[in-house]
């Protein structure tokens, strides 16, 4: 197996577990997979931060916002690994509840950069944006504005 294959075999099952936990309301596993060493950056679909002091609270907010993840799939489009750096480019297909609502499917386009630290792959950058999928744009608006907007949302 080549370097990229080894990276994917070691990292993708863990990433699936981490993201499923986050979308079920537990930010702890995602926080554990991220580096605390600068540089570390997040350009999320709805929220962004630079440095762990900004990113950690964003993940806590996300964990408090999501629940009832019924599915998560990371569709890898491209990936590479060389030495202590690796990346993935993927479509994330998720079905989860936001602010206590019904689980809704959405798709994000995501680029993730990993750095090997003490033998473990840690995320050092994530860039996500919604693609044309039911719920993706609404998800971004609700995450950006918080739960009060979700409660005020008119019925469809």
pLDDT tens figures, 85-122: 999 999 999 999 999 999 999 999 999 999 999 999 99
User: What pLDDT is recorded for position 148?
Assistant: 42
Just give the CATH number of 3-148.
3.10.450.50
pLDDT tens figures, 67-82: 999 999 999 999 999 9
Res. 61: pLDDT tops 60? yes
The three-state DSSP-derived secondary structure of 89-105 is: EEEEEEEEEECCCCCEE
What's the mean pLDDT when you consider all of the chain?
90
User: What pLDDT is recorded for position 151?
Assistant: 31
Q: Two tokens at 106?
A: 């959405």
Q: Is residue 10 classed as helix, strand or coil in its secondary structure?
A: helix
Q: Is residue 156 classed as helix, strand or coil in its secondary structure?
A: coil
User: What pLDDT is recorded for position 135?
Assistant: 67
């Amino acid at each position: 197996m080549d370097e990229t294959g080894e990276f994917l075999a070691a990292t993708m099952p863990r990433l699936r577990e981490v993201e499923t936990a986050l979308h079920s309301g537990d930010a702890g596993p995602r926080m554990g997979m991220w580096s605390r060493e600068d540089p570390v950056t997040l350009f999320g679909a709805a929220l962004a931060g630079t440095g762990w002091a900004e990113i950690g609270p964003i993940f806590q907010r996300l964990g408090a916002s999501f629940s009832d993840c019924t599915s998560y799939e990371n569709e890898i489009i491209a990936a590479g690994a060389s030495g202590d750096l690796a990346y993935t480019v993927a479509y994330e297909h998720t079905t989860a509840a936001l602010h206590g609502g019904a689980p809704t499917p959405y798709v994000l386009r995501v680029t993730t950069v990993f750095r090997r630290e003490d033998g473990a792959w840690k995320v050092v950058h994530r860039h996500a944006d919604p693609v044309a999928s039911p719920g993706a744009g609404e998800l971004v608006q609700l995450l950006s504005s918080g739960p009060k907007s979700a409660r005020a949302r008119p019925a469809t």
